[in-house]
């Protein structure tokens, strides 16, 4: 299946972004992304936990190419879920129950915990932007593109989570089937993930937006084996 329309991935990283992947990568120092031979990144998955972040950095690179401010590979156990998160959707968000990617149609925190336990790694990446609808759809498209590439590379369990309510359709078919199942993905918070705690575990700054002048930060996640 081809990437969704409108997913215009840049071929080259902006100056300095190659080093950003390296600086953000946890664990022992590794060579930059471009020093890893391409066949290695496509090699069959192994049980060597030390080499997994190197192999998975290509997906962090894809996020940076797509406009992300920062991207990082982390152990899946650093992704935090909490029961209180759903309360914020149910009692704090006007979109509750209006879209297929929002509660109560999404996995519960307990279901999400069980899903995360089936993975070893995650790619977390963030955007700093006062989002527009065009940007919102671009981010959804990028997430689908990265997930698809990971699948084609042999990571058949790869699954992505976005940020905020899905905006692919102006009017969600909430009582029926999704019109874009190949692209639409639920938000991290919609599935009970504590985005703030997860970012802290990943060494990524995420603060509460306290004014209209502040630039919000949006967090996406790819679970991968």
pLDDT band at 200 (very low <50, low <70, confident <90, very high): very high
Question: Of 91 and 31, which is predicted with more confidence?
Answer: 91
Counting residues of the chain whose pLDDT is more than 90, the rounded percentage is 59
Region 133-156: mean pLDDT is 91
**CA 101/CA 85 separation, integer angstroms:** 15
Q: What is the pTM assigned to this prediction?
A: 0.76
pLDDT computed for residue 59 by the predictor: 96
Q: What is the mean pLDDT of the chain?
A: 81
**Is the confidence at residue 220, as pLDDT, over 90?**
yes
**Is the confidence at residue 214, as pLDDT, over 70?**
yes
Residue of 94, 56, 88, 98 whose CA lies nearest to 75: 56
**CA 56/CA 64 separation, integer angstroms:** 14
Q: Three-state SS string across the chain, please?
A: CCCCCCCCCCCCCCCCHHHHHHHHCCCCCCCCHHHCCHHHHCCCCCCCCCCHHHHHHHHHHHHHHCCCCEEEEEEHHHCCECCHHHHHHHHHCCCCCCCCCCCCCCCCHHHHHHHHCCCCEEEEEEEECCCCHHHHHHHHHHHHHHHHHHHHCCCCCCEEEECCCCCCCCCCCCCCCCCCCCCCCCECHHHCECHHHHHHHHCCCCCCCCCCCCCCEEEEEEEEC
Neighbours of 219 (CB within 10 A): 25
> Could you tell me the residue ranges of all domains in the chain?
17-224
pLDDT band at 133 (very low <50, low <70, confident <90, very high): low
pLDDT band at 92 (very low <50, low <70, confident <90, very high): confident
Q: Model confidence over 164-178: pLDDT tens digits?
A: 888 899 899 999 999
Report yes or no: 49 and 159 within 8 Å, Cβ to Cβ.
Answer: no
Residue whose tokens read 């401010």: 69
Q: Is the dihedral of CA 20, 56, 186, 206 positive or negative?
A: negative
**CA 212/CA 105 separation, integer angstroms:** 31
Question: Of 104 and 92, which is predicted with more confidence?
Answer: 104
pLDDT computed for residue 189 by the predictor: 96
Give the range among 9-13, 116-120, 137-141, 160-164 with minimum mean pLDDT.
9-13
Counting residues of the chain whose pLDDT is more than 70, the rounded percentage is 76
Report yes or no: 46 and 99 within 8 Å, Cβ to Cβ.
Answer: no
Q: Model confidence over 11-50: pLDDT tens digits?
A: 444 444 444 444 444 333 333 333 333 222 223 334 444 4
pLDDT band at 207 (very low <50, low <70, confident <90, very high): confident
């Amino acid at each position: 299946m081809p990437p969704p329309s409108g997913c215009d991935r840049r071929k080259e990283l902006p100056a300095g972004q190659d080093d950003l992947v390296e600086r953000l990568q946890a664990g022992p120092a590794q060579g930059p992304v471009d020093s890893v031979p391409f066949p290695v990144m496509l090699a069959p998955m192994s049980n060597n936990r030390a080499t997994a972040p190197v192999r998975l950095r290509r997906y962090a690179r894809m996020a940076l190419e797509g406009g992300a401010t920062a991207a990082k590979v982390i152990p899946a156990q650093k992704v935090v879920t909490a029961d209180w998160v759903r309360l914020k959707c149910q009692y704090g968000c006007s979109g509750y129950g209006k879209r297929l990617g929002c509660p109560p149609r999404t996995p519960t925190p307990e279901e999400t915990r069980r899903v995360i336990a089936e993975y070893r790694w995650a790619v977390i990446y963030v955007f700093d932007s006062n989002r527009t609808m065009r940007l919102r759809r671009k981010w959804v498209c990028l997430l689908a593109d990265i997930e698809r590439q990971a699948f084609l590379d042999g990571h058949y369990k790869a699954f992505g989570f976005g940020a905020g309510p899905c905006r692919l359709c102006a009017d969600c078919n909430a009582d029926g089937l999704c019109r874009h199942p190949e692209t639409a993905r639920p938000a991290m918070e919609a599935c009970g993930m504590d985005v703030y705690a997860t970012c802290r575990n990943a060494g990524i700054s995420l603060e509460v937006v306290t004014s209209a002048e502040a630039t919000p930060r949006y967090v996406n996640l790819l679970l991968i084996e």
